[in-house]
Amino acid sequence: MSQMHNPAHPGEVLREWLSDISVTLAARKLGVNRVTLARILNGGAGISPDMDLRLSKALGTTPGLWYAMQGNYDMWQAKRVFRGGKVQRIVQRGSVAA
C-alpha cells in the first residue's frame, strides 16, 4: 500500500461532510460543545476515539474511520520533523544482531 502524501486534517474532511449544517447544530447533534467541534473543523484539535464513535453514529460511517484518518495525519506530520539522531537500535537478548 502506498503512503499518502500530506493527508488532510480530518477536520477539513469533516467540514465538507457538514457543509449543509451549522456548527452549532452539528455540535448539538453530536452531543459536544460548539467550541470543541469548531476546533476540530479548524484543525486546532484532533479526532479522539470518543469523537470518532460519535461521528460514526451520527454520519453512518464505520467506527474507526475518523480516528484512523487522524492517526495517518499525525504520523505524516511526525515523519516530516522526526530526525532520530540520538535513537539507537535495541536488540533483544538471544536475537542475532544485524
Assign residue 53 the CATH number of its domain: 1.10.260.40
88 domain residue, yes or no? no
pLDDT at position 94 is 78
90 domain residue, yes or no? no
pLDDT tens per residue across all 98 residues of the chain: 455 588 999 999 999 999 999 999 999 999 999 999 999 999 999 999 999 999 999 999 999 999 999 999 999 999 999 998 899 999 998 766 55
pLDDT at position 46 is 98
pLDDT at position 4 is 58
Give residue 32's domain range.
10-80
**DSSP assignment of the chain:** -PPPSSPPPHHHHHHHHTTTS-HHHHHHHHTS-HHHHHHHHTTSS---HHHHHHHHHHHTPPTTHHHHHHHHHHHHHHHHH---TT------TTPPP-
2 domain residue, yes or no? no
How many folded domains does the chain comprise? 1
Pick from 50, 53, 34: nearest CA to 42: 34
pLDDT at position 62 is 98
42 domain residue, yes or no? yes
Question: Is 11 buried (19+), middle (13-18) or exposed (0-12) by CB count in 10 A?
Answer: buried
